[in-house]
Each structure stands twice: as structure tokens, then as C-alpha cells.
């Protein structure tokens, strides 16, 4: 059995903008944006269409990830706000969460620059397919609940907080597999796979999956393979992933946005009957040993091996909650303290109802948290890191 947690497949440099409703409202007025034209599905070709899309998501309080035709659009928009440069990608943020508990990881990266070298924790080592330094930032926008943007033909008010990701990232779109990945997997107890959602060339995706297949032959049969879904830029590409990886995936994770995309309808996340029906529909579509869905109210797993992951599920919810209230600067003691906080009553009701309706399903309600400055960016990534805590052979908590 291996001892290494290998997390991939691509890291990012993120421009996290500090939400400023006045700036957004000013842009909407400058561009003459009307409520009647808001959408989340139109191509993002310039700053105007970016603002239209942000307001489209804000209307429903939804999160998502979208492709932008030029990185310059991202840079221009970010330049209007107070912006923090961070590093992300599911594997990287999961690794940062694990680092807070003293757990080292190995990252598979497809791009590198001085931001990554500066911000990557020392406990994280990496293999990389990058042949030169590049910077193609991801724009991360998080908006608070109740924020109001006035437009000429009506106001837009967000019913809840959420986060949006916008990017044009050629290295992640290419997703070259590092030749060293196979050797890194020789001693792996866990492989996290994520990031294929940004690819847009179907033939190239097929080649990358074939490369990954070859690297995964180095994995021990007992190693856990966790696949984290995300918003595909080309939705049908998910089927390519399934054709290659479903026979080897042990845990297949997704959030509520992906859940609703797969079932093709809104899901009432506080209605156990509606949630159970959606979970069963998606599990029929993606028949993995454990299907895991994590939301702001609960995390629920179903499938023949779901029961064995209850401790990991609890750790995952705890990790996401810790980051939600404290950001990246938490300690192992902060993580432990989160376990004593109150739970979501609505989440508890859904978990209880779903466990009754679906044989073998297990769930953990989210925590009921109040904070004036919540972190909504990367919560799903931190959730994955928390899940993998239980599967790490090494844990050396920091004070």
C-alpha cells in the first residue's frame, strides 16, 4: 500500500476580486445592460458580456465556471477591483487544506510561474508537464447574499452567496500529462483526478485520457481514486471521461451545480424526496461504487461502498466549514474546533430523509455558520482535501 497522496491534474493562478457592488453597477450602467438580456450561457467575448454573465448568475444566486475568449478580459475586469493573487485548482486547494493539518502531498501541474513557486506550501512537491513559465489567471468572483445591482429595467438581487470562475487557460485546456506522473503513482495511496472540464478539443482530450490511463497502471489496486466533477465547458466531454475512468474511480464527487446540470432541472436541496430522486438519477447515469454530492446544506454519498466513507464525509464537511469561516489561515486546532459547532437543521432533515429513502446512503449535515466575511471560493476543493484526510497514512497536526 502506498503512502503518497497525488493530487491533480492542473493548478491555476487565481485573481480573487473583492466584491464591490458599486463597481459592478457602474459597469452595468456604462455598458447599458438591461435585466432582460441577462444570461449565463452566452459567449464571453469582452468585458460587457462578462458582466452580463456575472449578473445572470447573481440573479439565481448560482455558482459556475465559464470560458472567456481572452485572458485580457479577465485582467481588465480584475484591475477595477481590489484583487488578491492566490493559487487554485482542485488539487492545489485540496493540498493547501491538507497542509494545514501537516499532511504532505504531490501535485501534478500543467503550468508554473513565480506566483505558484511563491505560494505553494513547502509540504507540497510537484511534477509538471510545463516547459516554460506562463500566466493565464482565473478570475474568481464571490458575491454576498442580498447584494443589489440597479439596472435600467429593474434590480437584480442575489438570494444567496456563491462563487464564479472565468478563465482562458491554454495549459489547462491542453492538460498535458507529465511523464513523471507514473513514477509518482508507484507509491500512491490516493489519486485525485480533476480539471478535464476545461478542455475543448475532443481528440486532444482522448489522447490525454489515454496518457492518464498509462500512468494509472502504476497505481496499486488498493489505492483510492477520487474524481471531482466540475462545470464542463463542453458538457458531452463528460462521457469521454466516463468511458476511460469509471472502471477505476472509487469516489465520484460533485457539487449541487453539477448535480442539477446532470438531472436537467432545479433540485430543492432542502427537500429529501427531491434530493433522493436526483441522486438516484445521477447514480444511474454515473454508476460508480460511491457517488458523492456536496452542497451548502449537506453532503450525501450513495452506492455499494458509500457506507465505508462516512468518516471521510464528516471530515470533508468539517474542512469546508473551517475554510468558510476562517479562509486559508486556519490551524489544526481551528479544524478540530469546528466539529463542536451547531449543524444545519435543514441539512439534518434532508440527510435523515435520504438515508431512509436510499438503502446504503450516508450523509452528513453541513454546519450552521454565521460570519461577516465568509470564504466561498474553493470550498469544494477544501471539501475534497478534508475527505482525503481520512485516507492519509500520515497526519502530523500543527499547533
394 in a structural domain: no
**217 Cβ contact list (under 8 Å, min separation 6):** 182
Alpha carbon 390 to its chain's center = 19
Looking at the structure, tell me whether residues 179 and 271 fall in a common domain: yes
pLDDT at 134: 92
CATH number at residue 278: 3.40.1190.20
> Could you tell me if 146 and 223 lie in one domain?
no
157 φ, ψ to 5°? -125, 130
d(CA 237, CA 136): 23
Asked if the structure places residue 395 within a domain, the reply is no
> How buried is residue 103: exposed, middle or buried, by Cβ count under 10 Å (0-12/13-18/19+)?
buried
My answer on whether 210 and 260 are in the same domain is yes
Of the residues 116, 149, 169, the one at which a domain ends:
169
Residue 380 · residue 315 · CB < 8 Å: no
Determine the Cα angle at 370 with ends 368 and 374, to 5°.
Answer: 110
pLDDT in tens, 295-334: 999 999 999 999 999 999 999 999 999 999 998 889 999 9
Examine residue 399 and state whether it is found in any structural domain, yes or no: no
Q: How high is the pLDDT of residue 267? A: 97
Same domain, 178 and 60: no
- Domain range for 24 is 15-84+136-169
Whole-model pTM: value is 0.88
Same domain for 151 and 260: no
Assigned domain for 397 exists: no
In the sheet that holds 251-255, the strands lie side by side as 124-128, 105-109, 4-7, 188-193, 224-228, 251-255, 290-294, 298-302, 362-365
Confidence at residue 210, expressed as pLDDT on a 0 to 100 scale: 97
Co-location of 70 and 202 in the same domain: no
Cell numbers 435543514 correspond to what residue?
Answer: 346
For 187-225, how does the pLDDT look when each residue is reduced to its tens digit (9 = 90+)?
A: 999 999 999 988 989 999 999 999 999 999 999 999 999
Q: What is the reported pLDDT for 46?
A: 97
CB 259 within 8 A of CB 282: yes
Judgement on whether residues 159 and 245 belong to the same structural domain of the protein: no
User: CA-to-CA distance for 191 and 8, rounded, in angstroms?
Assistant: 8
Return the pLDDT at 204: 97
pLDDT-derived band at 395 (thresholds 50, 70, 90) equals low
What is the sign of the dihedral through the CA atoms of 115, 118, 124 and 128? positive
- Residue 150 sits in a domain whose CATH number is 3.30.1110.20
Beta bridge partners of 226: 192, 251
Cell of 171: 495549459
The pLDDT tens digits for 151-191 are 999 999 999 888 899 989 999 999 999 999 999 999 999 99
End residue of a domain, out of 122, 149, 169: 169
pLDDT, residue 63, reads 87
Digit-coded pLDDT (tens) for 56-98: 999 999 888 899 998 899 999 999 999 999 999 999 999 999 9
Residue 99 lies in a domain: yes
Residue-level pLDDT at 397: 42
Does 285 map to a domain? yes
Res. 233: pLDDT tops 90: no
Whether 290 contacts 251, CB under 8 Å: yes
The count of domains in the chain is 2
Looking at the fold, whether 156 and 253 belong to one and the same domain comes out as no
Please compute, for residue 328, the number of CA atoms within 13 A of its CA located in the half-sphere on the CB side.
16
CA distance 355 to 279: 12
- Residues 318 and 373 reside in one and the same domain: yes
Whether pLDDT at 399 is above 70: no
Question: Is 265 among the domain residues?
Answer: yes
Q: Return the higher-pLDDT residue of 374 and 71.
A: 71
Task: Kindly state whether residues 283 and 304 are assigned to the same domain.
Answer: yes
* Angle subtended by helix axes 272-285 and 345-357, to nearest 10: 50
> Do 20 and 119 fall within a single domain?
no
Return the H-helix or E-strand segment holding 167: strand 162-167
- In eight-state DSSP terms, residue 197 is G
Give CA–CA dist 17/137, Å, rounded.
12
Mean pLDDT of the chain, nearest integer: 94
Task: Name 12's bridge partners.
Answer: 88
Contact 357, 273 (CB under 8 A): yes
Q: How confident is the model at residue 15 (pLDDT cuts 50, 70, 90)?
A: very high
398 is a domain residue: no
What value does the mean pLDDT take over residues 372-397?
Answer: 83
Question: What was the pLDDT predicted at 1?
Answer: 59
The pLDDT of 117-140, averaged and rounded, is 95
Q: Are residues 143 and 249 in the same domain?
A: no
Pairing outcome for strands 362-365 and 162-167 = unpaired
Provide the 3-class DSSP secondary structure of residue 140: strand
Q: Which of 169, 191, 225 is the last residue of a domain?
A: 169
Amino acid at each position: 500500500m502506498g503512502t503518497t497522496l497525488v493530487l491533480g491534474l492542473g493548478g491555476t493562478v487565481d485573481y480573487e476580486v473583492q466584491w464591490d457592488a458599486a463597481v459592478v453597477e457602474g459597469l452595468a450602467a456604462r455598458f447599458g445592460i438591461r435585466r432582460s438580456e441577462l444570461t449565463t450561457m452566452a459567449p464571453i467575448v469582452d468585458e460587457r458580456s462578462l458582466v452580463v454573465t456575472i449578473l445572470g448568475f447573481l440573479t439565481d444566486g448560482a455558482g459556475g465556471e465559464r470560458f472567456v475568449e481572452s485572458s485580457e478580459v479577465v485582467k481588465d475586469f480584475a484591475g477595477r477591483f481590489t484583487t488578491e493573487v492566490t493559487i487554485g485548482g482542485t488539487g492545489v486547494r485540496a493540498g493547501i487544506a491538507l497542509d494545514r493539518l501537516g499532511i504532505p502531498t504531490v501535485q501534478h501541474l500543467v503550468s508554473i510561474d513565480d506566483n505558484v513557486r511563491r505560494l505553494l506550501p513547502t509540504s507540497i512537491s510537484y511534477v509538471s508537464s510545463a516547459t516554460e513559465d506562463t500566466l493565464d489567471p482565473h478570475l474568481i468572483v464571490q458575491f454576498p447574499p442580498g447584494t443589489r445591482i440597479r439596472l435600467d429595467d429593474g434590480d437584480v438581487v442575489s438570494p444567496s452567496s456563491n462563487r464564479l470562475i472565468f478563465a482562458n487557460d491554454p495549459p489547462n485546456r491542453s492538460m498535458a500529462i507529465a511523464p513523471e506522473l507514473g513514477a509518482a503513482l508507484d507509491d500512491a495511496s490516493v489519486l485525485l483526478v480533476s480539471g478535464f472540464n476545461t478542455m475543448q478539443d475532443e481528440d486532444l482530450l482522448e489522447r490525454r485520457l489515454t496518457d492518464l490511463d498509462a500512468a494509472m497502471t502504476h497505481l496499486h489496486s488498493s489505492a483510492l481514486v477520487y474524481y471531482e466533477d466540475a462545470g464542463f465547458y463542453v458538457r458531452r466531454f463528460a462521457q469521454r471521461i466516463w468511458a476511460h475512468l469509471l472502471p477505476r474511480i472509487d469516489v465520484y464527487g460533485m457539487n449541487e451545480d453539477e448535480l442539477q446540470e446532470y438531472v436537467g432541472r432545479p433540485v430543492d436541496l432542502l427537500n429529501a424526496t427531491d434530493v433522493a430522486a436526483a441522486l438516484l438519477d445521477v447514480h444511474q447515469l454515473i454508476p460508480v461504487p460511491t457517488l458523492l454530492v456536496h452542497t451548502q446544506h449537506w453532503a450525501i454519498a450513495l452506492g455499494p461502498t458509500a457506507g465505508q466513507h462516512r468518516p471521510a464525509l464528516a471530515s470533508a464537511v468539517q474542512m469546508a466549514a473551517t475554510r468558510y469561516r476562517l479562509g486559508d489561515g486556519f490551524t489544526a486546532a481551528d479544524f478540530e474546533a469546528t466539529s463542536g459547532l451547531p449543524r444545519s437543521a435543514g441539512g439534518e432533515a434532508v440527510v435523515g430523509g435520504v438515508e431512509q429513502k436510499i438503502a446504503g446512503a450516508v450523509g452528513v449535515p453541513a454546519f450552521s455558520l454565521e460570519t461577516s466575511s465568509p470564504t466561498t471560493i474553493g470550498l469544494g476543493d477544501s471539501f475534497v482535501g478534508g475527505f482525503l484526510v481520512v485516507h492519509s497514512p500520515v497526519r502530523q497536526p500543527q499547533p
